[in-house]
Structure 1
Amino acid sequence: MRKICILVPLLLHLPSVCGQSTGLRTRNYIHLSDMTSWSHAQAQCREKYTDLVTISSEKENQLFVSGAGWIGLYREDSNSPWKWSRRDELANFTIWDTDTGDPTINENCAFKYSNKVAWNTDPCDRSHSFMCFNERVVLVKQQKTWEEALKHSTNYQNYRYDLATLLIPDDHVYAREKAQEATTDEVWTGLRYLAGKWVWVGGEQMQYEGIQSCPGQSSCGILEKTGTTQFGMRDCKQRLNFLCYQKLQTSGEV
Structure 2
Amino acid sequence: QNCCISGSQFPLRQYHYVNISLNWRDAQLYCRENYTDLATFDSLDDLNRLKADFSYSWAWIGLHDDPAAWKTSMGNKSNSWRWSATGQTSTTGYQSWSSISPDYYQAKETCVAVGGGGLWADIDCNSLQRFLCFSGKNNFYFVDISDIAFS
* Bucket of the pairwise TM-score, normalised by the shorter protein: 0.5 to 0.7
Shift of 1:62: 2.8
Partner of 1:55: 41
Q: Which runs of 5+ in 2 are unaligned?
A: 1-7, 74-79
Shift of 1:110: 0.4
- Aligned residues of 1:96 and 1:118 also touching (Cα < 8 A): yes
Partner of 1:211: none
Shift of 1:60: 2.4
Partner of 2:60: 70
Partner of 2:113: 111
Per-residue Cα deviation, 1:160-216 (whole angstroms, up to 9, x for no partner): xxxxxxxxxxxxx9336xxxxxxxxxxxxxxxxxxxxxxxxxxxxxxxxxxxxxxxx
Q: Distance in 2 between matches of 1:87 and 1:55?
A: 12
Shift of 1:103: 2.4
Shift of 1:112: 1.4
Partner of 1:35: 21
Q: How does 1:129-140 map to 2 (within 5 A)?
A: 129-135=130-136
Give 1:109's aligned amino acid.
C
Tell me, what secondary structure is at the counterpart of 1:40? helix
Alpha-carbon RMSD? 2.8
Partner of 1:174: 141
- What's the TM-score once normalised by structure 2's chain length? 0.67
Shift of 1:27: 2.6
Q: Distance in 2 between matches of 1:56 and 1:136?
A: 13
Higher RCO structure (Cα 8 Å, ≥6 apart): 2
Query: 4+ residue runs of structure 1 moved beyond 4 angstroms?
Result: none
Identity in percent: 25
Shift of 1:64: 3.8
Q: Distance in 2 between matches of 1:122 and 1:93?
A: 19
Q: Which runs of 5+ in 1 are unaligned?
A: 1-8, 12-24, 138-172, 177-222, 231-254
Q: Distance in 2 between matches of 1:129 and 1:51?
A: 14
Q: How does 1:1-254 map to 2 (within 5 A)?
A: 10=9, 26-64=12-50, 66=52, 68=56, 69-77=59-67, 79=70, 81-91=80-90, 92-98=93-99, 100-104=100-104, 105-114=107-116, 116-135=117-136, 174-175=141-142, 229=146
Structure (1 or 2) with the larger CA radius of gyration? 1
